[in-house]
Structure 1
Amino acid sequence: MGISKLTTEKVKERVDIEEVVGDYVPLKKKGQNLWACCPFHNEKSPSFSVSPAKQIYKCFGCGKAGDPIQFVMDVEGVGFTEAIRHLAGKYGIEVEEDEERTPEQDQAYSERESLYIALGFARDFFVKNLLSPEGKSIGLSYFKERGFSNSIIEKFDLGYALDGWDHLLKAAKSSGFQEEILLKAGLILQKEGDPSRVYDRFRGRVTFAIHNIGGKPIGFGARILTKDKNQPKYINSPETAVYHKSDVLYGMYQAKKAIRAKDNCYLVEGYTDVISMHLSGIENVVASSGTSLTEGQIKLIKRFTDQVTVLYDGDPAGIKASLRGIDLLLEGGLNVKAVVFPEGEDPDSYSRKVGSQAFQDYLVENSRDFIGFKIGLYQDEFAKNPIRKAEVIREVIQSIGKIPDPIVRSVYAQEASSLLEVEEDVIHTELNKSLIKTQRDQFQKREEAPPHDLGFEEYLPTEEKSTASDSLKIQEKEMIRLLLNYGWEKIDHDELHLCDYLLAETADLKFETPVYEKILITYRQILNMGEAPTIDFFIRHQDSEMKSVVIDLITPRHEVSTHWSERHQIFINKENDNLSLTGFKSILRLKRRVVQKMMEEAKMKIKTAESEKDETADIEELQKIYFELKKVQLEIDKELGIVIG
């Protein structure tokens, strides 16, 4: 079943874009809007804009845009119904079901929801198993030996998978779950060579539930407690429709509030490291679960903080092998520090060894920025080996070059110069070479990449480089932008609104860009019904393409600071200062583009007729049409003040 329209409307009325987006990324006020680094793509400077007044978001980097509901759909990767349920839960709104749903919608929603339900059932099953005789003697005793309290076991949904081929399978089937859903959830396996025989994936192991950022279980990690050389120490859930390993960090659900509050994220390797740090009173910690860091995981951290502290086991060889992760963190725009534990220790063992307070003190006292950490790591190697020292200098410079902020780069260059006892000019020279190479590589990638629409405000193609159709599309976009933003503002003393003028002047024109034509037709239809076509109407429209384009057109990328007028008494003209003139010129430019396109079409017909020697074509008449159109263009140019030699 779906969600009733009444529930959907209650959610739309109650949600606040700042609160919804603020749960995922830290927002900073600049002008009328709030800004952040986009949660949907990797960027070095904020281009993600949130407008509390319009209740919309827009990224000027990747183009993502929408309202609070669309944001949840994008960031959580869920459908409309799931997004409404998520927001209803956040704001305490009772969800009323609606019988009106298509079979296709039912199937798509049911399958994804079934995976969550099956995984939730498995979590509860594993948790209950801890209280069984086998679970108590093996699983629970293991957790207690590690010092895990009952509250921590409950907080992380720790459990135990019974030692048998089909304990979970039988329990799930008796509760009504189909084998197909259990397979898709990664909870059971099919026997090789005999797909009809299925069995539990997790058997005779303690289990660690992996949650999504909203707290739903999406997978499991499981550790064996016997010394069976034929079995891996850990096994994990496979990739599923709801579990993508590269976008998940263990413990993020439990840590996200603390990470934002502390403005720092501790990054460790394993499940027990995370849990042990919680026992020590440190909650702002997540784990990569033994895998190499991915771009998706780095973006997940950056949603909540720009500061990350990597905790390394006391194993110099292992640390050197994992240094690639620091460069990835730097490249992702994070400020990186590192802590190394004494040899043979990891966060789990060391916290249990020294106690909570001493452990917290150790983290504070031994936290070093990545430059000092990296140089210290190789100090003994290059002390008596100049060649090795030169190699280390280049490695350090490459890491500094990953930092997007030029001021931070400069500070680290100074520190590297001091620690490595190398002239700062040499560091900067090599750093510049590295940056130039990186920029050259990025430029090459952009050249090879397909072009994209840069938008009217950012780029206007010249007539030499663009066709008449391209120019017409841009002017259609500008006309719709004015209509949406200022349509209901008056332009004279006779109560004439800008929309009346724009719609009257375009009554005989058909826009060539389908989405702009659609918006124009919708605008006219609403007016004819005696209602006001507000921006809010278009933002809430079910047509996702139209909604996305409207958000793009009403969201300015740049704002003029109020300090110019308030503090310096410098007044800058705005386009809405004289809407009568702005509208008049916009219509003239639009008609100029229409005339130019007609001229281009006439010219092509003349060329085709001449090359094919088509006797049926009246070339003289076509030439006459062309020159008449040229006269019209010149008249418009004169009104616009355009002079073309």
Structure 2
Amino acid sequence: MIDQATIDRIMDAAQIVDVVSEFVTLRKRGVNYIGLCPFHNEKTPSFSVSPSKGVCKCFSCGKGGNVVHFIMEHEQLSYYEALKWLAKKYNIEIKERELTDEEKQAHSLRESLFVVNQFASEYFQNILYNNIDGQRIGMTYLRGRGFRDDIIKKFQLGYSTDNHDALARAALQKGYKEEFLVKTGLCYRKEDGTLRDRFWGRVIFPVHTISGKVVAFGGRVLSAATKNVQMKYVNSPESEIYHKSRELYGIYFAKQAIVRQDRCFLVEGYTDVISMHQSGIENVVASSGTALTSEQIRLIHRFTNNITVLYDGDGAGIKASIRGIDMLLEEGMNVKVCLLPDGDDPDSFARKHNATDYQAYINDHEVDFIRFKTDLLMEEAGKDPIKRASLISSIVKSISVIPDAIVRSVYIRECSQLLQMEEKVLIEATAKLIEQAREAKFKEQQRKKEREQRLTATPQASVPESSPEAQTNETPAADSTSETGNAPFPSEPAPFPTEPYTSYIPSEGNEQKVFYAKEEDLVRMLIRYGEKVMCYVENETGEQIPFTVTECIASGLKEDELQFYDPLHRLVLQECEAHLNDPNFNPERYFIAHPDPAVSKLAVDLVSDRYQLSKYHSKGQKIVSDEERLYELVPRLLLDFKLSIVEEEMKHTIQALANPEIANDPQRCLEIMKRYKELQETQSVMAQHAGDRVVLKL
């Protein structure tokens, strides 16, 4: 475990803009930064980073948190693993105790697979540099391809000997489990149950995630011992950590260059990427021979809107891959295509030219994708009217997927001239395809909704959530463990009221109710200003003592025997009370850095500028902030909440009386009516404080 002092050092050192910038292209907007959200597909930036608060948040999908929770979500790490990631980045030494056997077993399968892959990567590199066959076969091949030693080391290339189980034996000797060797795809089981290396006799190309973790391998056959092997390249199979549709070879080494150049080159293979890096062009990634996927496109789109696809002179290859480029247009990217000279691919061309010449050739020969596709298909169609009609349909389809109406209009006008067709015809054809796409999307959404409804319609053994059956606010209605698997919510509520009351408000589905919004307002005040002195009150001896926001809210709820509806909100109030007397306690910093991501996310949501409660001009036209009028604002918000939740409680308490099971139980009916009467009296008193007249009838 990591001690709190070290955690504080990490949190102080980690700059959220610096960390997020490794994964997202950020642009300054006012005092904050914005970019495309890395957690969902979007074309308009809605991901905001606040350097002053040290938080980030997507105002579209809602994900966010502090710097630790960003790394947890993005890299799928645990809380302590994310801290280690940041400590390594900022060169902070971590001293921790030895993990127990139980804690070791608690490590996720994903992390175990990454550990095994890292071991394999180091093993393959060691063979390449220190084994006779590695030097004689592997290194000879790589240098024969023109790769310099620094480039070989940079991309962590390696070699696996002709021995069919050398890696398996080495891994087992080091204590790695057979299960993980098989699940990563490094080995597979033969019919007799023995392990066999997947990559024997091959030069190894590790595939890295965007953060640099080894997620998979590619192996190219080399020696004579493998001459009967049919496949030149073998790649890791899909696993819990590797999905080839989501990975791009070279993205880890290219991301910073892509941001600097605001441009990405897309090639096909491993050696294409490596050779271009060696020539000085680093903003390049490869789809590794697979058809381009939407996940890969979004990965590129995080860093730039501009992409240039490099093709060799293989016409068949161009036509096969050209279909996938429509997906780039659909994502709103600016797509260009560059044909290399006949007989050259990105790898061979890079070995013949330096970066300046390579860039100059691309700049001189790259063309817009729509024009490139039109010229390519026009040449094939010739004067055949049927082929020309098919060509026009294909081009119109490409134009129709472009999300920006202005860009579509420009393309239609240009294609009208190239194809010698009336612009009106192309506009109508494009509009028809767009409408068809919308209908198809709507139908798919309807089907998805129906599937979800069928799943949720399964009868439950427990009382339905919408039932007016009573629930007790003593324990949370949901499972006591947060969805992230970290610190669970307390099984007991905040220390008030002394005797928990029975609530008939349904356990879920109340987020749109008035009382819930009022409750959030109070929690927002706790997180922002919980430790602030709201006013001074006189004690029994006549002494003026400070009265904080936390004390005002806690005592106000206890006074009327009420409590927050949401267990997470109750937890916030409970922890505010527990730490209120701690020196230098800052609720905002405390909750944003909370180890439970659910708490941290709540804090980020509630301190975001978009949720500013109020700023108004006083008579002197001076802007008055919330903090300057806490003595007025907090009591008003507290009263609004108490009125709204009492009203909601009364409504559902009356509904409970309509339940046949309760109606037939005189004792329970009497208890509920008594509770309703108490709520009625409480509401009457609160209404008087609010200056309202409320006439109530049972």
User: Do these two structures clear the TM 0.5 threshold for a shared fold by scoring above it?
Assistant: yes
In 2: Cα distance, 1:623 partner to 1:178 partner: 61
Q: Does residue 478 in structure 1 map to residue 530 in structure 2?
A: no
Pick from 565, 576, 584 the counterpart of residue 523 of structure 1. 576
In 2: Cα distance, 1:387 partner to 1:629 partner: 83
In 2: Cα distance, 1:611 partner to 1:176 partner: 62
Q: Which residue in the other structure is 1:540 paired with?
A: 593
Q: Secondary structure at the match of 2:338?
A: strand
Say whether the 8 Å CA contact 1:592–1:633 is kept in structure 2: no
Which has the higher mean CA deviation after the structures are superposed, 617-626 or 348-357? 617-626
Counterparts of residues 26-425 of structure 1 (less than 5 Å): 26-99=25-98, 101-109=99-107, 115-130=113-128, 132-192=131-191, 194-195=192-193, 197-225=194-222, 228=227, 230-352=229-351, 357-425=356-424
| TM-aligned CA deviation for residue 111 of structure 1 | 6.6
TM-score of the superposition, structure 2-length normalised? 0.78
* Partner amino acid, structure 2, of 1:104: E
* Partner amino acid, structure 2, of 1:597: E
Q: Cα gap change, 1:498/1:8 in structure 2, threshold over 3 Å: closer, same or farther? A: closer
Say whether the 8 Å CA contact 2:643–2:683 is kept in structure 1: no
Q: Which residue in the other structure is 1:510 paired with?
A: 563
Count of residues paired in the alignment: 620
In 2: Cα distance, 1:615 partner to 1:167 partner: 78
Q: Cα gap change, 1:484/1:358 in structure 2, threshold over 3 Å: closer, same or farther? A: closer
Say whether the 8 Å CA contact 1:43–1:333 is kept in structure 2: no
Q: Secondary structure at the match of 1:484?
A: helix
Q: Does residue 552 in structure 1 map to residue 550 in structure 2?
A: no
Say whether the 8 Å CA contact 1:602–1:622 is kept in structure 2: no
Which has the higher mean CA deviation after the structures are superposed, 345-354 or 56-65? 345-354
In 1: Cα distance, 2:664 partner to 2:162 partner: 87
Which has the higher mean CA deviation after the structures are superposed, 157-166 or 16-25? 157-166
| TM-aligned CA deviation for residue 17 of structure 1 | 0.5
Which runs of 5 or more residues in structure 2 are unaligned?
Answer: 454-508, 538-545
| TM-aligned CA deviation for residue 185 of structure 1 | 3.6
Post-superposition Cα deviations, 1:348-369, rounded to whole Å, max 9, x if no partner, equal 2333456665433221211122
- Percent identity reads 40
In 1: Cα distance, 2:7 partner to 2:670 partner: 61
Q: Cα gap change, 1:534/1:128 in structure 2, threshold over 3 Å: closer, same or farther? A: closer
| TM-aligned CA deviation for residue 627 of structure 1 | 11
Q: Secondary structure at the match of 1:330?
A: helix
Q: Secondary structure at the match of 1:97?
A: coil
Q: Cα gap change, 1:149/1:88 in structure 2, threshold over 3 Å: closer, same or farther? A: same
Q: Does residue 589 in structure 1 map to residue 586 in structure 2?
A: no
Q: Cα gap change, 1:133/1:24 in structure 2, threshold over 3 Å: closer, same or farther? A: same
Say whether the 8 Å CA contact 1:606–1:623 is kept in structure 2: no
Say whether the 8 Å CA contact 1:269–1:290 is kept in structure 2: yes
Say whether the 8 Å CA contact 2:527–2:607 is kept in structure 1: yes
In 1: Cα distance, 2:548 partner to 2:678 partner: 35
In 1: Cα distance, 2:628 partner to 2:438 partner: 41
In 2: Cα distance, 1:482 partner to 1:415 partner: 57
Q: Secondary structure at the match of 2:17?
A: helix
Q: Which residue in the other structure is 2:472 paired with?
A: none
In 2: Cα distance, 1:432 partner to 1:213 partner: 38
Say whether the 8 Å CA contact 1:468–1:593 is kept in structure 2: no
Q: Secondary structure at the match of 2:94?
A: coil
RMSD (Å), alpha carbons: 3.9
Post-superposition Cα deviations, 1:499-544, rounded to whole Å, max 9, x if no partner, equal 4543343223112211112212222222366774521111122233
| TM-aligned CA deviation for residue 431 of structure 1 | 3.6
| TM-aligned CA deviation for residue 42 of structure 1 | 0.8
| TM-aligned CA deviation for residue 289 of structure 1 | 0.8
* Partner amino acid, structure 1, of 2:221: I
| TM-aligned CA deviation for residue 245 of structure 1 | 2.5
Q: Secondary structure at the match of 1:210?
A: strand
Q: Cα gap change, 1:480/1:339 in structure 2, threshold over 3 Å: closer, same or farther? A: same
Q: Secondary structure at the match of 2:658?
A: helix
Say whether the 8 Å CA contact 2:265–2:284 is kept in structure 1: yes
* Partner amino acid, structure 2, of 1:276: S
* Partner amino acid, structure 1, of 2:219: A
Say whether the 8 Å CA contact 1:85–1:95 is kept in structure 2: yes
Say whether the 8 Å CA contact 1:3–1:96 is kept in structure 2: yes
Say whether the 8 Å CA contact 1:595–1:632 is kept in structure 2: no
Q: Secondary structure at the match of 1:26?
A: coil
Counterparts of residues 483-502 of structure 1 (less than 5 Å): 483-487=526-530, 498-502=549-553
Q: Which residue in the other structure is 1:462 paired with?
A: none
Which runs of 5 or more residues in structure 1 are unaligned?
Answer: 452-465
Q: Does residue 599 in structure 1 map to residue 645 in structure 2?
A: no
In 2: Cα distance, 1:354 partner to 1:3 partner: 50
Q: Cα gap change, 1:526/1:367 in structure 2, threshold over 3 Å: closer, same or farther? A: same
Q: Which residue in the other structure is 2:12 paired with?
A: 13
Q: Secondary structure at the match of 2:340?
A: strand
In 1: Cα distance, 2:94 partner to 2:683 partner: 64
Q: Which residue in the other structure is 1:459 paired with?
A: none
| TM-aligned CA deviation for residue 27 of structure 1 | 0.9
